[in-house]
Amino acid sequence: MKVLQKRIPAEAEEYAVLHLHAQDVATDRLVRYLEQEYFRAVRLLCRKGDQTVPVDCENVCCIETEGEVLRVCTMDDVLTLPERLYQVQRLLPQSFVQAARGVLVNLDRIECFEPLPNGLIRARLANQEYVYISRKYARELRERLKEGTL
């Protein structure tokens, strides 16, 4: 697909025009990606000891509730975030889904899924940790996988 870019003045509204042969699930996903501006990087201001560290969401494997703070797991570090899960969830891109009551997982960081006999799904993350996706959220995950909307 050929991509053309044109610079516009800073005060003008940005827009995209797509010239497509047909509309399908993939093009709908692209439109949603553009409309919701998922391409703009989201950074979380996490804590590591006494320091505040910006973390790009694309580097986050999962976010788990741990007491009054969130535990943010990246490829090679674990940081904390003094926020509520629902507040952070609103900021995150579509690749983050609820895996369990206090857990968000980045689908882009899942290496493999393993369905378990009890209806849970065990997912191995890129940082070699495991996350269990509860039955409640496994159904939504399966539907998104079938639709190809991840």
pTM of the model: 0.71
Does 5 map to a domain?
A: no
Residue 79: its pLDDT value, please? 97
Domain that holds residue 49: 43-147
Instruction: Establish if 32 belongs to a structural domain.
Output: no
**Amino acid letter for position 35:** E
Position 114 in a domain: yes
Q: State the total domains in the chain.
A: 1
What's residue 29's pLDDT? 86
- Residue 143 confidence (pLDDT): 77
- Cα separation of 71 and 69, whole Å? 7
The CATH code of the domain that includes 99 is 2.40.50.1020
Residue 125 lies in a domain: yes
Distance CA 56, CA 68 (A): 22
Please give the structure tokens belonging to residue 140.
Answer: 């939504």
74 within some domain = yes
| 11 half-sphere exposure, CB direction, 13 A CA radius | 0
Mean pLDDT of successive 10-residue stretches along the chain, which has 150 residues: 87 90 91 76 90 93 94 95 92 89 93 91 95 91 70
